[in-house]
Amino acid sequence: MGEGTGGEVTETSHIRKSREQVVIRPNENLDPCAFVLFGATGDLTRRKIVPALYSLHCSGLLPDPFVVVAFARRDKDDSAFRADMKQAITEFAPQLSTEGAEWESFSARLYYHRSNLDDSEGYKNLGIRLAELDQEHKLGGNRLFYLATPPDNFSEIVHHLGEAGLNLTGDHKGWSRLIIEKPFGYDLETAKALNQELASVFKEDQVYRIDHYLGKETVQNILVLRFANQIFEPIWNKNYIDNIQITVAETLGMEGRGNYFEKSGITRDIVQNHALQVLTLIAMEPPVSLDADSVRDEKVKVLKAIRRFELDDVARYTVRGQYGHGDKDDLVGYRVEEGVAADSQTETFAAFQFSIENWRWAGVPFYVQAGKRMPKRVTEVQIQFKAIPEVLFARLGSGSLKPNRLTIRIQPDEGASMEIISKEPGPQMNIQPVRMDFKYGSAFDTPIRDAYERLILDAVRGDASLFARNDEVEEAWSIITPILNSWHNLTCPLFPNYAAGTWGPEAAQKLLTGGRGWNFPC
């Protein structure tokens, strides 16, 4: 929290025990299916996807029957792929045992299909193998395709799936769904083109655009915090809130991703998707229900209401930064990272002031900052309420009062805290902020699952609430693309303009006006 936090009030155990819990029951009427994984030998598969599938299997949350079919070009067979995935889980999910009946049961569900992504025969043979597995395992013809490949391969894979009839949009028995990883395009034009290509093969309700941030418990809890607690909704507006700050900070540099990041930058990599997704949940109106389209309808309305930037707005309401060498030997500058040009103009930090032009939020600035090589890895939202009149306490000589502040911590240390003003014990009227804190890790007995577990399970269930819709993606790009284009027409800052391990360039501090400042996480 910010400076001046004096105390901490935590939730007592008897309150925790009295809380009603809603849990997902194992195998709750889930359809059996084949999980077809493209990019099966890649890093994302090893680090996230297969460990998530195995964790769900160990918890009894996957449908039964359920099989995984890896589609990749390397010369392997079923047994080699199973051995590779065992090693991956040992390395990246060591809390999950790869010995005993659970692993034997899971590994027996793993299959490998060798083919190049551009080989149309490989997709026809995939269809044959899926039909065989349908017969062997009674899968009902249901297929869930996961595109864990570089975005350059998306169109190619989708085209071949359609050509081989694997999209199942006709009268075929069973269902077919497609999970596609970000980035969803490079700008508005390419996002529209990708959506059109997807629509030519799959119906929109078959497409699940995954953003792992939406699978995080604290992001999901934003809706519950706002709409299930009567104390918040009446004051969740311009009359009581002064400003809202969203911070997405990472301590890491490129870690071998320099080639990708050079083409992306922090704005495409983080702001266009993660940060704007969080912003929409904070700012949206109550949906009529919690079904997928009702929630996404309200999110799209927020994106439509965000004021688009002209060239002068970009110069005034955005800040770019790029990190240089820090005060430690391992904090090297961006331009010497592997895969980065020596004269790179790619931003590793960006800050924005957005305005939502609707009745609820008119006049409330939404500040968003995202950066690499920050002092702390943290994603959080800070809702700063307006200050009270100082008349009463000024007469008592208590000095300036800090406004109340609600902080939603998305990662790490998931939870939420509220700063209120309290009197210190003693004969004098001394007051200071104290913090009422809620932490997921200690408030619930249920462990926090990885975001990929929740999102994969929802795709199996056919629940698209936590996935981006085509119009949502395009609206987000319609906000960001003019900014990116304007940066090309404006003089670039003299990079690097902040040291690795600091909170970004000094210009970002000037973005906030009216006596406001960034509330940096300690």
* Tokens coding 448: 């926090």
- Kindly tell me if the per-residue pLDDT of 272 is higher than 60: yes
333, containing H or E segment: none
DSSP 468: B
* pLDDT confidence bin for 27, thresholds 50/70/90: low
Query: How far apart are the C-alpha atoms of 470 and 199, rounded to whole Å?
Result: 9
The arithmetic mean of pLDDT across residues 113-118, rounded, is 91
Cα(444)–Cα(438) distance, integer angstroms: 10
Tokens standing for 422?
């309290």
CATH topology of domain 214-388+466-511: Dihydrodipicolinate Reductase; domain 2 (3.30.360)
Local confidence band at 22 (pLDDT 50, 70, 90 cut-offs): very low
Catalytic one of 172, 274, 325, 488? 274
Average pLDDT value over all residues in the chain: 87
Q: How far is CA 226 from CA 28, 223, 229, 231, 330, in A?
A: 28, 5, 6, 9, 42
Contacts of 401 (CB under 8 A, 6+ apart): 387, 388, 390, 393, 421, 431
pLDDT given for residue 391 in this prediction: 66
Give CA torsion, residues 325, 329, 335, 336, to 10 deg.
160
Comma-separated ranges of CATH 3.30.360.10 domains in the chain: 214-388+466-511
Mean pLDDT lowest for which of 164-173, 354-363, 499-508? 164-173
- At 254-268, the pLDDT tens digits run 988 888 899 899 999
- Please tell me the predicted confidence (pLDDT) of residue 310: 93
Contact at 8 Å (CB) between 155 and 122? no
Q: Which residues contact 518 (CB under 8 A, 6 or more apart)?
A: 245, 247, 367, 369, 503, 508, 509, 512
CA distance 157 to 149: 10
3-state helix, strand, coil in the chain (%, to 5): 40, 20, 40
Alpha carbons 187 and 209: distance in angstroms, whole number: 16
Residue 17 has pLDDT above 70, yes or no: no
Residue of 243, 241, 236, 208 whose CA lies nearest to 222: 236
CATH of domain 33-174: 3.40.50.720
Q: Please say if 325 is a catalytic residue.
A: no
Two tokens, residue 438: 């809620």
Q: Provide the strand spans (E) within 204-249.
A: 207-210, 241-249
In 156-267, which ranges are E strands?
176-181, 207-210, 241-249
- At position 104, the amino acid (one-letter code) is E
Instruction: Look at the pTM and tell me if it is higher than 0.85.
Output: yes
Asked whether the beta carbons of 100 and 133 are under 8 A apart, the reply is no
When pLDDT is cut at 50, 70 and 90, the band that residue 4 belongs to is very low
Q: Are 237 and 358 in contact (CB under 8 A)?
A: no
CATH 3.40.50.720 location in the chain? 33-174
Q: Nearest to residue 213, comparing CAs of 410, 420, 1?
A: 410
Per-residue model confidence as pLDDT tens digits over 122-147: 999 999 999 999 999 999 899 999 99
Backbone phi and psi for residue 386, each to the nearest 5 degrees, phi listed first = -70, 150
